[in-house]
């Protein structure tokens, strides 16, 4: 019998405001990258308090452009945590870099600053902190190592737009930061990404890279490598509306996180992976660690509740062969991690039903 899923693991929605903005853009023939994209970039930069933002097709490509603009070239090495979506590693590989993975912290799926120095070689050029699910990495520690070894800090903040930390917004603290506007993100334009930086030179390189490094199509000259990685005004029209909704979205995902954290607190076999909502971190998802995860997944699926097990660790990829296979912390997250139903349009009742169902499962 086919199981019916009534609660999706992720829920976001677009309403008449996005529909009108999109229709208006199309009517005005604002289809490809133009004024609306520039307005979207300005607004993101303004809200994050950075001078420069460059929109592109995805966060994967934002990271690739960032690596390329920052001068990462074949044979260079970059250091990444072993808990991230594989896109981070692929972007580095596309720039020709060798990916060096290191383990995460024990209790948080974030890069362990204490393990970075052992992975540094004369070829190392950059550290890539990945701020997973709104949790901001320890930027003091990372910047100290980066300064000591003259390394770049390129932040993967795909899952963390508007997440606050003692150092500022995620993505705005290092040399460059990258965001995703994919479907399962707080601010979505369907697909899309953004690079932010305070470095004018990097900004100039990144913004022309998306148009084959041709800055002026009337007096065109071919001066440097580039690609067609333009954003579109149709996406920007949607994105501008999404930005206006950011406060409600943030408040809602924080509320869902708090609800789950309180509702599951008394269950010894489950722990909600912490997000510091009181300090302004924005939990893009609700993530738990649970023993015998697959049994809980099956139980919830039978109740019509859709969940997502964590993705594999990047070190599993044969094309990312590593010098070590010792990633005990990252592997624990991989084995026990589960996304529970969340998202900016996930009704509170759905979270309550999920909590109730989990509690009943363990009360049996």
Which residues of this chain interact with ligand PLP, rule CB under 6 A?
A: 58-60, 84-85, 87-88, 130, 156, 158-159, 180, 182, 193
Shortest distance, position 111 Cβ to ligand PLP, whole Å: 12
Shortest distance, position 50 Cβ to ligand PLP, whole Å: 19
Shortest distance, position 27 Cβ to ligand PLP, whole Å: 28
- Name the one residue in this structure whose structure tokens are 């009360």: 363
Q: How far apart (Å, rounded) are the C-alpha atoms in residues 347 and 327?
A: 36
Shortest distance, position 159 Cβ to ligand PLP, whole Å: 5
Tokens representing residue 292 in the block: 């015998």
Shortest distance, position 34 Cβ to ligand PLP, whole Å: 21
State which residue, 180 or 207, has the beta carbon closest to ligand PLP. 180
Shortest distance, position 82 Cβ to ligand PLP, whole Å: 12
Q: How far apart (Å, rounded) are the C-alpha atoms in residues 313 and 26?
A: 41
Q: How many CB atoms lie within 10 A of CB 166?
A: 11
CA neighbor of 286 nearest in space, from 258, 265, 312: 258
State which residue, 132 or 146, has the beta carbon closest to ligand PLP. 132
State which residue, 159 or 350, has the beta carbon closest to ligand PLP. 159
State which residue, 88 or 124, has the beta carbon closest to ligand PLP. 88
State which residue, 45 or 91, has the beta carbon closest to ligand PLP. 91
State which residue, 52 or 179, has the beta carbon closest to ligand PLP. 179
State which residue, 182 or 226, has the beta carbon closest to ligand PLP. 182
Shortest distance, position 165 Cβ to ligand PLP, whole Å: 16
């Amino acid at each position: 019998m086919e199981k019916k899923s009534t609660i999706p693991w992720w829920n976001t929605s677009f309403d008449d405001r996005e529909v009108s903005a999109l229709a208006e853009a199309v009517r005005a023939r604002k289809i490809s990258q133009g004024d609306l994209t520039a307005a979207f970039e300005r607004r993101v930069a303004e809200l994050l308090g950075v001078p420069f933002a460059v929109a592109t097709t995805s966060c994967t490509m934002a990271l690739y452009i960032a690596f390329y603009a920052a001068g990462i070239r074949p044979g260079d090495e970059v250091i990444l945590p072993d808990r991230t979506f594989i896109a981070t590693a692929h972007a580095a590989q596309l720039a020709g870099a060798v990916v060096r993975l290191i383990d995460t912290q024990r209790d948080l799926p974030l890069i362990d600053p204490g393990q970075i120095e052992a992975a540094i070689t004369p070829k190392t050029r950059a550290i890539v902190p990945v701020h997973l699910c709104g949790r901001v990495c320890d930027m003091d520690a990372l910047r100290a190592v980066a300064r000591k070894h003259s390394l770049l800090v390129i932040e993967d903040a795909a899952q963390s737009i508007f997440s606050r930390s003692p150092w500022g917004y995620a993505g705005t603290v290092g040399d460059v930061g990258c965001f995703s506007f994919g479907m399962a993100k707080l601010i979505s334009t369907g697909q899309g990404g953004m690079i932010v930086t305070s470095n004018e030179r990097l900004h100039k390189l990144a913004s022309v890279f998306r148009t084959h490094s041709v800055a002026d199509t009337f007096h065109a000259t071919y001066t440097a490598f580039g690609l067609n990685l333009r954003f579109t005004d149709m996406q920007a029209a949607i994105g501008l509306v999404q930005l206006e909704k950011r406060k409600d979205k943030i408040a809602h995902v924080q509320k869902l996180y708090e609800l789950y954290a309180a509702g599951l607190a008394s269950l010894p076999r489950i722990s909600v992976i912490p997000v510091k909502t009181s300090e302004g971190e924005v939990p893009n998802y609700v993530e738990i660690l649970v023993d015998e995860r697959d049994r809980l997944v099956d139980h919830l699926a039978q109740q019509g509740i859709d969940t997502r097990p964590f993705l594999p660790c990047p070190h599993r990829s044969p094309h990312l062969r590593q010098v070590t296979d010792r990633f005990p912390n990252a592997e624990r997250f991989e084995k026990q991690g589960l996304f529970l139903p969340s998202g900016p349009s996930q009704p509170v009742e759905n979270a309550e039903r999920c909590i109730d169902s989990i509690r009943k499962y363990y009360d049996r």
